[in-house]
Amino acid sequence: MHMNLEMNESAEARMVVQEADLASALPISEEDNFPEVFATSRMIALMELAAARLMQKALTEGQLSVGVGVNIKHLAATPKGKEVWAVATFTRMEGKLYMFTIEAFDEAGKIGEGSHSRAIIATERLLAGASKRFSK
C-alpha cells in the first residue's frame, strides 16, 4: 500500500558498535591508519538506514528507495561496544527527491548531524541499468 510521508515524521535505526564498524577496520593497505572508534562511513550507513525505514510505507511492490546525497558532520567519537542510533526526519520533497534531516547519537550525546536525500526506484530497472553499465 502506497502512503505519503508526513512532514516531520521520523524513524530510527540502532546498533552496537562492533569491530567491523570501527574506522580501524577500514584500511586496505599498510599506509592507511585510522583510530579504533565508530567509522564515519558506518555512521552514515546507519543514518541512511533510518531514512530508508521511514520510506518503506511510500513504496509499492517492486520498488526500493536509494540514497542520492548526504551532507554529514561527524561530531564526536564513539568506542566499540557502545550503542549508537540514528534518527531520520522527513522535511520536504524536492522534485522527486525525499529530503531528510538526520542525526546520530550515543549514550553521551549527539555524534553526527546533517541532511540526506533519497529517491524511489524500480528495483528491476536499477539492477538492469547497473548490469548494462558493465556489458559494453
Q: Does the annotation count 2 as an active-site position? A: no
Q: Does the annotation count 74 as an active-site position? A: yes
Catalytic site residue from 12, 74, 89, 116:
74
- How far apart CA 41 and CA 47 sit, in angstroms, is 10
Write the DSSP symbol of residue 6.
P
Catalytic site residue from 12, 48, 78, 116:
48
Q: Partners of 89 in the beta sheet?
A: 10, 101
Q: How far is CA 34 from CA 21, 25, 30, 41, 123, in A?
A: 12, 8, 11, 12, 35
Catalytic site residue from 9, 31, 36, 40:
40
Active site residues: 40, 48, 74
